[in-house]
Amino acid sequence: MDETATELADELRGRVGESLRVVGHHEGDAWAVDYMRDDLRDTYETDDIDAIADDLALSAVGNDRQEDLYALGDLRATVRLFDDGIVVHVPTDAQSGYLVSVADDADVLGRDVVSVVRDTVA
């Protein structure tokens, strides 16, 4: 894990503790899982992680259109809310970004996760 990824995982663990599920990053189509909570290691296989990466890349294709449609400024992140947690994708440019997954028991908002990512990787 590179220094920035280590620092980000440490910052997020300090913020949400054991509720932190996954931290990963991508540059272009190359993905790396920087942190995964131990109990999840058997849940996700390499093919699952690749499929998640492909899904995030596909959803990012529409970012410019969404910025135009919603007229709210730059799209800073996407947050997916599931029964058991949230997944936050924070793009750092058109081809790279960070993914953070947090369990539903965390006392944190998606916007808070985005702030931690932006503050740490800036």
Residue 32: which CATH number?
Answer: 3.30.450.30
Q: How confident is the model at residue 40 (pLDDT cuts 50, 70, 90)?
A: very high
State the residue range of the domain holding 10: 3-121
- 33 bridge partner residues: 24
Per-residue confidence (pLDDT) for residue 120, from 0 to 100:
94
pTM higher than the cut 0.85 = yes
In angstroms, the CA 85 to CA 34 distance is: 19
Is the predicted pLDDT of residue 85 greater than 70, yes or no? yes
Read off the pLDDT of residues 88-109 as tens digits, 9 standing for 90 and up: 999 888 778 899 999 999 999 9
CA trace torsion 33, 35, 24, 79 (10° rounding)? 140
Q: How many domains does the chain have?
A: 1
Whether the Cβ atoms of residue 33 and residue 45 lie closer than 8 Å to each other: no
